[in-house]
Chains A and B, each alone.
Chain A
Amino acid sequence: MNHTCVYVLNQDSAYDFYVNKLGFKVHTDAPMGPGMRWLTVCPPEQPDLQISLMEIKESMMFKKEAAEQLKELVKKGTFGFGVFQCKDIYATYEELKAKGVVFTKEPKEEFYGIECLFKDDSGNWFSLGQSQ
């Protein structure tokens, strides 16, 4: 896989979250016309995996009603868009917490490894794990 998509409420805010808090790198930030922007970021150790931060708004992609419905679902934390892996979950957890990332589950040992859950600035949740 080389592209995936995360639906966000605001691209500027998402940029701040993924780049300044999670430490992702900006892969492509391209204006596509008035009010349109192609913004992809990548985990620093996976420069070829582009995560598109797609703003939900009425457009060719979303009719007005669909955009409003999707925004509400995102705000409610309906979507979990993936699993991240790290070398040291406790250090990563403490660092991200210090940077203001909201965790919905503290690191806990599960049968598959140690896992915690956090959400982005829009409400999407992610699993962060460390293999045993």
Chain B
Amino acid sequence: MESGKEQYPKVYLYRRIVQAKLFIEVSYNKEIDLSKIADEAFFSKFHFMRLFKSTYGKTPHQFLTQVRINKAQELLQNDSIKVGDVCFAVGFDSISSFTGLFKRLVGVTPSAYQLQQRLRRDAIKKEPLNFVPGCFSEKAGWK
């Protein structure tokens, strides 16, 4: 078990890495200079990338991409939004890059995903009980 003295520097390191992660989560739609984030966390760029990857299993850039794609998935719940608008809203500057990355991480293109989500919402609206286990709907009196 680590002593209090050994634990403190580790906690301090974690706080800096976590702050960097939270900054990326909040600022995902802006142009982010990952070198600057490393500087502000008082790490060299190499050290920052290594620590970030060992903590989160992704480099800061991979994590930023994942955050952007996750946010894109949220925006694509809206039927009326265009894929191009989603691309720029989440911080990408190229629709083809965005579409390629989205397909790689989600498995379908953004427009296919938008359609899937619309069909699912329509199915839930039409037959909500199909999405609830029978035991719950019976107990709740929904059947």
Chain A positions near chain B (C-beta within 8 angstroms): 3, 5, 28, 30-33, 36, 38, 52, 59-61, 87-88, 90-91, 94-95, 98-99, 109
A-B contact pairs, 25 of them (CB 8 A): A28-B124, A30-B131, A30-B132, A32-B142, A33-B142, A36-B140, A36-B142, A38-B136, A59-B140, A60-B139, A60-B140, A60-B141, A61-B141, A87-B55, A87-B56, A90-B10, A90-B14, A91-B21, A95-B18, A95-B21, A95-B22, A98-B18, A99-B22, A109-B1, A109-B2
Q: Could you mark each residue 105-143 of chain B with 1 if its beta carbon is under 8 Å from any beta carbon of chain A, else 0?
A: 000000000000000000010001001110011011110
Contact across chains for A32 and B132 when beta carbons are under 8 A apart: yes
Q: Which residues of B contact A61 (CB under 8 A)?
A: 139-141
Let me know if B17 is at the binding interface, CB within 8 A: yes
Let me know if B82 is at the binding interface, CB within 8 A: no
CA distance A38 to B142 in the complex (A): 10
B interface, size bucket? 20 to 34
The total number of A-B Cβ pairs within 8 Å is: 59
Closest CB of chain A to B36's CB: distance in Å?
Answer: 20
Q: Which residues of B contact A28 (CB under 8 A)?
A: 124, 131-132
CA distance A103 to B98 in the complex (A): 38
Closest CB of chain B to A95's CB: distance in Å?
Answer: 5
Let me know if B100 is at the binding interface, CB within 8 A: no
Closest CB of chain A to B133's CB: distance in Å?
Answer: 6
Tell me whether A38 and B21 are in contact in the complex, defined as CB-CB below 8 angstroms, given that A61-B141, A90-B10, A94-B11 are known contacts.
no
